[in-house]
Amino acid sequence: MEKSLIIKNLHVEVEGKKILKGVNLEVKQGEVHCIMGPNGSGKSTLAKVIMGHPKYKVIAGEIWFGGQNILELTPDERARMGVFLAFQYPQEIAGVNFLQYLTTIYNIHLRQMDPGVKAMKSFKFKRMVQPYLEELRMDPDFLNRYLNEGFSGGEKKKAEILQLKLIKPNLAMLDETDSGLDVDALRIVAEGVKGMLSSEMGALVVTHYRRILDYIEPDYVHMMYDGQIVKSGGCELAHMLEEIGYEWITADTTV
Ligand code: ADP
Ligand code: MG
């Protein structure tokens, strides 16, 4: 089954305020799309609504994934279909041990692939995850800590990418995974993502800056403004936006 994402005329409201005003987007399996745009234009809202965040009300439009209308599905069901979102602001969860958490999500993923498979024990999982930790330059001590508690901004983002690598989703959405990272962390995170891109995985990369796109070369760049995609193009659009900023864009800009 082809795992493409198709969004048609999507209108979304949060707390009674209209945020998305007719978004159309198609991310075919294996394609990398980037969404740029000023703060408050609705980029995170789009990612959250694709994931099924209950706070964001779809008032019109459709979201299809893998040939199925996913609007009626819970976030959990969407995750099981292979939709993954790395949050812009990962939550700290006190009392949830990182190793335990990763082992649990990994075992859910394994069972998804093969319902008869035996769950992997955490000591075995710990061995398996070592190369990923090394690749992301994460201290193995992380595994003993609580999820995101006291993690620096960069460490939280790396923890999200680690989950991405373990789950190998069909659609990876990264919401400003590059924000707040220093040059080294950005390179590690971006190369980590780049290494995963394949004909199996589509990606939707939300970013404010062009620099991550130097690593993850997107097939398409979309410009979001006031709840709509007002312009679409290739990498050259990202370069242009960086040079001239966003001020020139208005909702009337022709697509
Ligand atoms: P972006 O990611 O492009 O910066 P967002 O999608 O986060 O934009 O936000 C778009 C608009 O929606 C903003 O005006 C923001 O304040 C509003 N918004 C987003 N989430 C919520 C929420 N949970 N409650 C109230 N307003 C929200
Ligand atoms: Mg955002």
What's the per-residue H, E or C state across the chain? CCCCEEEEEEEEEECCEEEEEEEEEEECCCCEEEEECCCCCCHHHHHHHHHCCCCCEEEEEEEEECCEECCCCCHHHHHHCCEEEECCCCCCEEEEEHHHHHHHHHHHHHHHHCCCCCCCCHHHHHHHHHHHHHHCCCCHHHHHCEECCCCCHHHHHHHHHHHHHHHCCCEEEEECCCCCCCHHHHHHHHHHHHCCCECCEEEEEECCCCHHHHCCCCCEEEEEECCEEEEEECHHHHHHHHHHCCCCCCCCCCC
What is the structure's pLDDT at 253? 54
What is the structure's pLDDT at 109? 86
Binned at pLDDT 50, 70 and 90, residue 51 comes out as very high
Query: Is 90 within 8 Å of 158 (Cβ atoms)?
Result: no
Query: Is 193 within 8 Å of 226 (Cβ atoms)?
Result: no
Q: How many A from CA of 111 to the centre of ligand 2?
A: 32
Q: How many A from CA of 24 to the centre of ligand 1?
A: 19
Domain architecture of the chain: domains with CATH? 5-82+170-244 (3.40.50.300)
Q: Is the CB of 15 under 6 A from ligand 1?
A: yes
- Using CA positions, which residue lies closest to atom 13 of ligand 1? 40
Pocket test for ligand 1, best of 18, 19, 176 (most atoms within 8 A of CB): 19
What is the structure's pLDDT at 88? 77
Q: How many A from CA of 206 to the centre of ligand 2?
A: 8
C-alpha 57/C-alpha 38 separation (Å) is 22
Confidence check: pLDDT of 24 > 80: yes
Q: What is the CA radius of gyration of the chain?
A: 18
Give pLDDT tens digits for 169-197: 999 999 988 887 888 888 888 888 888 88
